[in-house]
Amino acid sequence: MTDIRTLGEFIVEKQSDFPHASGELSSLLGSIKLAAKIVNREINKAGLADITGSVGAENIQGEEQQKLDLYANDKFKAALEARDQVCGIASEEEDLAVSFKRQLNRDAKYVVLMDPLDGSSNIDVNVSVGTIFSIYRRISPVGSPAIDADFLQPGHRQVAAGYVIYGSSTMLVYTTGNGVHGFTYDPSLGVFCLSHENMQIPVDGNIYSINEGNYIRFPLGVKKYIKYCQEYVPQDNRPYTSRYIGSLVADFHRNLLKGGIYLYPSTANYPNGKLRLLYECNPMALLIEQAGGRATDGQQRILDLVPTELHQRVPFFVGSTNMVNKVEAFLHEIDE
């Protein structure tokens, strides 16, 4: 029988990758693991308990908040504050960054940015959703309150990032800059077990993920890329297959395993794109690069972008290297 390694055991095993962390990063990931289990339990009650639907309010991005958005936000924030490794958090569901008040928290080295429940509008129709998280070392003095500059760091400074996908099975996927590893939740044991070690995205794929309902609003280079994907050219193994779930985590996870590209370009309604740099694009970019793929805004590497505001939006192209290279070539061709 193959030995089962739990997430906790694996994190401890890999602690030597971060001798400067003294176990703190491991404990922080343990907080995320705990909150994910609580949120997973509530998601599995959808349809049985009064936890679905809108709360009748909008977040700072003008998006309608779902009950589970706020529930997940509260649970992850509480789990991170309860331990002493995090001095503050920034969330898609919070207008401003939150600096924890306890001195033990202010003595912590890390900040966490998160999208507590990506794709939450899909809960009502039983479609996979997820949690995305990003971890940085603070740049403000230890012992003081967290400040905005702690959160406004370029993505290449992330010390860890990952996501939890709540689907037919629940998985936690993360990287600390030393490969991408996936853990599947075993509800009978209440633990995440290593199921996908050192995940690698194929250099090419045949899946493209984009909301083609917005086609008329896309930049010309993206329109040309979509047509390229749809053309029948036997030697290139095309046409490609269009697969779009509407939850970034779900689309990303499928493409990571099978090979493909996810596209959320600028549109007439969202000239700067719609996805958030800090809560969605940066963590997914770190994961995809660690898995051998690429992430770009169409012009430059996502992880090199310097954020200027907490809820900054950017266009996002992420996935198999050859596919990202191709869409970039179309975009550059139009610009020239």
Cβ burial of 207 (10 Å; 0-12, 13-18, 19+) is buried
* Cα–Cα distance for residue pair 162/180, rounded to 1 Å: 9
Helix then strand then coil, % of the chain, to nearest 5 = 40, 25, 35
Binding residues are 92, 115, 117-121, 211, 244, 262-264, 274, 280
CB-CB neighbours of 111 under 10 Å? 27
Question: 131 - beta bridge partners?
Answer: 164
* Cα–Cα distance for residue pair 230/265, rounded to 1 Å: 18
Binding residues for Mg(2+) are 92, 115, 117-118, 280
* Cα–Cα distance for residue pair 132/104, rounded to 1 Å: 25
Cβ within 8 Å of residue 115, ≥6 positions away? 91, 92, 131, 132, 276, 279, 280
Largest separation between any pair of C-alpha atoms in the chain: 63
| Nearest of 111, 98, 105, 88 to residue 160 by alpha carbon | 111
Binding residues for substrate are 118-121, 211, 244, 262-264, 274
